[in-house]
């Protein structure tokens, strides 16, 4: 019995390689479609009850996530106050340290707290946009919010 030449086997080998790649990407845990993240950005936010702490309107903040920092005036959203930091597209730290410094207008002592958090994917399996959410408690401790 005569074996087929290597030239005759090339199309079969190429088709097998393509089929294996498609199988790995779709049937073996990969997503068949790209992540659908329209206007999603990576960011970290810290929220607290406005009536529990003296840091609200007229206060200032500095929020750092890893080596990235931002500052400004907290946002008042109903009975809550929020500060946030948008992270660049190339931010890829999974467990960054988050530090928050607040100073208030009402003779409040400066608050300086930090904590390591776990960044979460906005959509399972899609790491283009990650988020981190924290809550500042009435006793000025940062707590990670797991479901936000």
23-76 tens-digit pLDDT: 444 444 444 455 555 556 889 999 999 999 999 888 999 999 999 999 999 999
Q: What is the dihedral of CA 45, 49, 54, 59, to 10 degrees?
A: 30
Angstrom CA distances, 111 to 9, 14, 91, 100, 142, stand at 71, 63, 26, 8, 11
SS3 42: coil
- Residue spans of beta strands (DSSP E) within the chain: 43-49, 60-65, 68-72, 75-77, 80-86, 97-103, 111-116, 120-123, 126-136, 142-144
pLDDT grade for 133, boundaries at 50, 70 and 90? very high
Map tokens 């958090």 to a residue: 117
2-34 tens-digit pLDDT: 655 655 556 554 555 555 444 444 444 444 455
71-104 tens-digit pLDDT: 999 999 999 999 999 999 888 899 999 999 999 8
Identify the pLDDT of residue 129. Answer: 77
pTM of the model: 0.71
Q: Token digits for 38?
A: 């329209």
For 67-108, the DSSP string reads TEEEEE-PEEETTEEEEEEEPPTT---SS-EEEEEEE-SSSP
- Domains by residue range for the chain, with CATH: 1-33 (no CATH), 43-144 (2.60.40)
Q: Strands across the sheet with 60-65, in order?
A: 68-72, 60-65, 97-103, 111-116
């Amino acid at each position: 019995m005569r074996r087929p030449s290597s030239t005759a086997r090339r199309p079969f080998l190429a088709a097998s390689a393509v089929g294996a790649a498609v199988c790995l990407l779709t049937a073996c845990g990969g997503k068949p479609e790209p992540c659908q993240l329209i206007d999603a950005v990576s960011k970290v936010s810290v929220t607290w009850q406005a009536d529990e702490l003296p840091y609200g309107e007229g206060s200032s903040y500095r929020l750092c996530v890893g080596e990235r920092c931002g500052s400004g005036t907290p946002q008042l959203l109903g009975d809550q106050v929020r500060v946030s930091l948008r992270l660049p597209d190339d931010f890829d730290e999974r467990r960054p340290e988050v530090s928050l410094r607040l100073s208030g207008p009402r003779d409040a002592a400066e608050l300086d707290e930090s904590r390591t958090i776990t960044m979460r994917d906005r959509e399972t399996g899609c790491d283009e946009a990650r988020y981190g959410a924290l809550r500042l408690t009435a006793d000025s401790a940062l707590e990670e919010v797991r479901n936000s």
